[in-house]
Amino acid sequence: MSYCDDILHKARILNLDECEVVSIQKKISTVRITDSEIAEMKQNEDHSIAIRIIDEKKIMSGKASPSQIENILDKILQTKSYLSPKDFWKSLPHASKFTNLERTYDSKLDGISGTKIIDMANEMINSATHKDIERISGSLNVVSDHFQIMNSNGLDCSDDSTYISGTINADSEIGSTPVSGVGAICSRTLDNFSPDQIGRDATEMCIGSINPKHIEQDSYSIIFEPYAFGELLAFVVASNFNLKTYAEKRSCFSDNMGAKISSEGFSLVDDPHIPDGIGSKPFDDEGNATVPQFLIKNGIFSNLFSDSFDAFKEGTSPSGNAIRQGSPMGRSSQPNPVSLPHNLRVVDGEMSKDEIVNDTKHGLLVGRLWYTYPVNPEHGDFSCTTRSGIRIIEDGKISSPGKSVRIVHNLKTLLKNISAIGMDSKNVLQWSALPAITPSVRVDRVGVNPI
């Protein structure tokens, strides 16, 4: 009898209305790079259990290791008298059919050796080495997990997943001011991961940024490359399509369902089925089948995402977006899931990045953002700073690298001013952020201020 079976058996003896048990076995290998060399490698294996109980409409939860589960139900039930019933609650999921996904598990990654991981980290460093690069830093993470969820309604499903993510930051003090560059790749399979490309991308961005010119305060057409636009999706865009945020009038698009909120050529999908997507999964983290859905379709606000709790509270059905987000990637045994998107995917356009640049008269090309956060989320206001890969565009040509600028803008305005979408989509995963899949995107009439 498995740990999950054992806990559900005890739940039946206690005559609990509903019980959900999550088991996750996780392997994490992390290499930390500082001062152009490997500073540390850590490997960790963990097995943890999460339990959620619904009894008399009261929702209780807890977490334990396998060695601590003997009296875990009794400990969780000690909180029952302090809780109020959630009368809107309906039911945990029942068993259903799931879509078979491609390229979300790789046995080569699951069984990769520590020596191989260190070799890849050294390849990242070596490919970023250049006479004008002063410092190289970054990280390499390899994760595999076995996730199982069972409940008292007969649900029993499991999923094996693998992930790999590498980032290199290259810094240079050659020229008039310090500059940097970033290279990053994340994938679910080893074959789609190139350590050499990560280092080369970081070096190219950094060297191309040497001797940047001052950028005047003005309004520009900004081409956000995938790594930059992915940050906007994760930290500014995503929360506005959360059912809970929308219902509480904290989304800048509240009461706009079915309305045009972006340029007609822009479509945003929450896509849990795309091969190799960092957030791709056949079922969400409470056992509901996942389904791709347009959040914005050809400019029209189309859908919201939710878990069961938020959906039942608002009198609707869950969209299959219950997430127990793990770090640095994958799932966790967080006792209560939250509503999050799986993969925020911008549908590719029909222009290459070079064609977008050639079509831009007065603009900036931005490779990386930082300090990106909502300022007044109910109205859509946000702030960010361009960090790396800034290029000044004049009359369809890149004229020179540019210094950092601050952007204080509005999401509603930004979406409506999208004027070009590339076809250079990449998996993007910022640290502690949501997975995104996006090409380069040009937005017109963005005001910037020099720093």
Residue 429 is assigned to a structural domain of this protein: yes
Residue 121, classed as helix, strand or coil, is helix
% of the chain surpassing 70 pLDDT = 100
Name residue 300's beta-bridge partners: 260, 297
Q: How confident is the model at residue 432 (pLDDT cuts 50, 70, 90)?
A: confident
Backbone phi, psi, residue 146, to 5° = -115, 115
Kindly state whether residue 323 falls inside one of the protein's structural domains: yes
Which residue has tokens 């499903």? 157
List 182's β-bridge partners, or say none.
169
Number of domains in the chain: 1
Q: Using the predicted structure, report yes or no on whether residue 102 has a pLDDT greater than 60.
A: yes
Neighbours of 400 (CB within 10 A): 15
Q: Does residue 225 belong to any structural domain of this protein? A: yes
- Domain interval for residue 358: 218-450
Task: Tell me how long the chain is.
Answer: 451
Q: What integer pLDDT is reported at residue 433 of this predicted model?
A: 86
| Cβ neighbours of 115 (radius 10 Å) | 8
Q: What is the C-alpha separation between 225 and 228, in angstroms, rounded? A: 5
Amino acid 431: pLDDT: 81
In angstroms, the CA 167 to CA 186 distance is 9
Residues in CB range of 169: below 8 A, 6 or more apart:
136, 137, 138, 180, 181, 182, 202
Whole-number Å distance between alpha carbons of 43 and 27 = 7
Structural domain includes residue 279:
yes
Taking residues 330-344, report their average pLDDT: 96
User: Please, which residues have CB within 8 angstroms of residue 226's CB and are 6 or more apart in sequence?
Assistant: 424, 425, 426, 428, 438, 439, 440
Token representation of residue 58: 């009261």
- Give pLDDT tens digits for 25-81: 999 999 999 999 999 999 999 999 999 999 999 999 999 998 888 889 999 999 999
**Amino acid making up residue 418:** I
Q: Rounded to whole angstroms, how far apart are CA atoms 52 and 22?
A: 9
In a domain? residue 331: yes
Distance CA 418, CA 356 (A): 12
Question: Is 226 part of any domain?
Answer: yes
Going by C-alpha positions, the residue among 189, 150, 186 that lies closest to residue 285 is: 150
300 contacts 261 by C-beta, under 8 angstroms: yes
Asked if 66 and 49 touch (Cβ cutoff 8 Å), the reply is yes
Please state the rounded mean pLDDT for residues 242-269.
97
User: Cα–Cα distance between 226 and 367 in angstroms, integer?
Assistant: 7
pTM: 0.95
Q: What is the pLDDT of residue 67?
A: 87
Residue 178 lies in a domain: no
Is residue 242 within 8 Å of 323, Cβ to Cβ? no
Residue 186's pLDDT is what? 97
Lookup: tokens for 303? 């859908």
Residue 395: both structure tokens together: 């009359």
